[in-house]
Structure 1
């Protein structure tokens, strides 16, 4: 984007605006224009307005712009800048910027130099004239919030966003894809995929695999300990049941019942240990339930979809327990198989 064009203004435009013409300049009433006055331009503007020089003020809005005016701009020197040469009274020395003095011209503002300066484009300045009540009428270039060059900048930004937004979206999707894959693998209970994505993600995936390995080892260790304890309890429990045969009734019957319950609990623990170590396999749930219901006339199986799940060997025993409880406590019932979303 090129630099915004420099604002240029002529004394003729300022004079017309001070007379009331609507030529796009901003008008205000208040104190005189701030800044260092320009005596030469004040003389030309006062002559154009027909006012005393004391009632006119011209001040640069940006002194740096005046110093950086383009090469070839007319520069007027007073007699004090004439290299010590004596100039005729009221005359001015004219030269081009960067060049040697060219000639002495008529005095301002009546001579030809005054007419040139009146219509010569200059860097932005503020011009003011004193009103009858002592306040100043000041004109200066209008400064709109959204000028031409600002609109160009906004349009360039909008075009850049339109062009870059799809690229940023694609890059963000590619960057976050490994994280989504890792999250889905964790939710599904699977091992993280092969190392991909940023190094931090690879390290996180490796840490998850190690954590799963440690948890699995600890779970297996607890299961082995539980199995060993339950197995060891069977020997003293058998000895206890043998000794209970010598106990008189009715205490013997109650004690035998307690021993039988303990033996059933131990058997359940051992069954759990066996099924926990068993390999999971795909099971057709509806066929399995149909086999269980076939042995229970009080139960019926409703129509429904066929669902296949990957489970251990304990699913059939769980269904048999439910069917037995339904028959014992409700006299029978109905079983339905359904799928809800991703859950089965």
Structure 2
């Protein structure tokens, strides 16, 4: 529609007939809304226009005045003399002031449907009325008026269509928005299927998501059961090995016991990782500052280089045991790799921010995003003397997510790693 309006030619104004010009001269008003008229006193002979004697004669007949008392000029070419077509006679123009005997002068119509000659372009007419002259000019309205009317109609149509279109769009998108929100809220702890509603396509999408979620939950359950079974089965042979080690010489027995304890620690860590995804939490109001201070004191008592800045009282909702294990894993990771850890607790934007910083070498920027992945270690050699099995930070991340928090890893400007743990404050 816009292309037709602005690219296509505007419609032509309706021509002005001699009858309408004569009526405008008598009344001062035009019956044709496509033209604007102006008038004044005197004789006006505009430049750039041509005299049209044939049209002037037709107008004089309608006005009932002699031909010499009417002068007509047109912007376009003057209408040539036209005779009747074969089979057409001479049509007469009735006008006021015609002879009383009923005779009427004739004028060639040339197949104009009985309307007589017409004006298509701007014109100027002067006529004599008694002893003084008057003039009138006519201009066609430009295409601006047509554009204004067309654009106004388009705006009106669009406004009328906007309401129904908005309602239809809302009906389609609302179920999608609700589905997206529920998908975002789904986790392994909330395994109920999504409500299926809305248009058929949205219902199919919801059903497909529920099937996918059921399959994922099944796979996770199978993996968890397998890992728990393996960890439990390993404890039995390890127990038998510990008894048999008693018969070894003292020197060999100490080394064997150390290896066995390392295996037990690995199995325990694996079980903690598996259970961290399935354990249910008891959410209570907790003073995070007191919990972190107690943890720092305990680790310092075990000869770990752990310090903490004076914290402010910070209340969050959480499970105390799970939070302690989560924070302990992050602090232990710093002590293990860097030899020290410095803790600070603050608040910002409705969240508690616990920062654990160390003075170690830091981590390659390419590896920062992978530090909380299961079994991933920043130390590529996987030497047990410099780290565990790579599950401590994964367990911490899992616990953080259950508390609605997040962990951010970044290298410090002066060297070392900074882990920022973010918890939502209790309302």
* TM-fit CA distance, 1:169: 3.9
* Contact kept? 2:312, 2:345, Cα under 8 Å: yes
* Contact kept? 2:287, 2:316, Cα under 8 Å: yes
* CA radius of gyration, larger in: 1
Aligned to 1:248: 249
* TM-fit CA distance, 1:222: 0.5
* Contact kept? 1:244, 1:255, Cα under 8 Å: yes
TM-score (norm 2): 0.48
Aligned residues: 265
* TM-fit CA distance, 1:261: 0.2
Whether 1:112 aligns to 2:109 is: no
Alignment partners' CA distance in 1, 2:166 and 2:263: 64
Cα separation, partners in 2 of 1:240 and 1:178, compared to 1, 3 Å: same
Alignment partners' CA distance in 2, 1:252 and 1:195: 63
Cα separation, partners in 2 of 1:123 and 1:226, compared to 1, 3 Å: farther
* TM-fit CA distance, 1:7: 1.0
Alignment partners' CA distance in 2, 1:295 and 1:149: 81
Alignment partners' CA distance in 2, 1:150 and 1:22: 29
* Contact kept? 1:227, 1:273, Cα under 8 Å: yes
Which of the two has greater helix per residue? 1
* TM-fit CA distance, 1:201: 0.8
Whether 1:265 aligns to 2:271 is: no
Cα separation, partners in 2 of 1:312 and 1:261, compared to 1, 3 Å: same
Cα separation, partners in 2 of 1:324 and 1:94, compared to 1, 3 Å: closer
Aligned-partner SS, 1:180: helix
* Contact kept? 2:92, 2:107, Cα under 8 Å: no
Unaligned stretches of 5+ in structure 1?
15-19, 29-41, 61-75, 83-91, 97-104, 128-140
Aligned to 1:81: 87
Unaligned stretches of 5+ in structure 2?
1-10, 22-43, 59-70, 94-101, 123-138, 301-306, 351-403, 406-422
Alignment partners' CA distance in 2, 1:144 and 1:250: 111
Cα separation, partners in 2 of 1:268 and 1:332, compared to 1, 3 Å: closer
* TM-fit CA distance, 1:276: 3.0
* Contact kept? 1:230, 1:269, Cα under 8 Å: yes
Aligned to 1:277: 278
* TM-fit CA distance, 1:273: 3.3
1:67-120 residue CA offsets vs partner (Å, 9 max, x unmatched): xxxxxxxxx855x527xxxxxxxxx44489xxxxxxxx99xxxx8222999995
* TM-fit CA distance, 1:286: 2.8
TM-score (norm 1): 0.57
Q: Highest relative contact order (Cα 8 Å, sep 6+), 1 or 2? A: 1
Whether 1:9 aligns to 2:19 is: no
* TM-fit CA distance, 1:230: 1.2
* TM-fit CA distance, 1:293: 3.2
Alignment partners' CA distance in 1, 2:232 and 2:206: 39
Whether 1:336 aligns to 2:356 is: no
Whether 1:176 aligns to 2:173 is: yes
1:164-186 residue CA offsets vs partner (Å, 9 max, x unmatched): 54554455344322221211222
Aligned to 1:157: 154
* TM-fit CA distance, 1:200: 0.8
* TM-fit CA distance, 1:238: 2.1
* TM-fit CA distance, 1:322: 4.2
* Contact kept? 1:276, 1:312, Cα under 8 Å: no
CA RMSD of aligned residues (A): 4.9
* Contact kept? 1:302, 1:336, Cα under 8 Å: yes
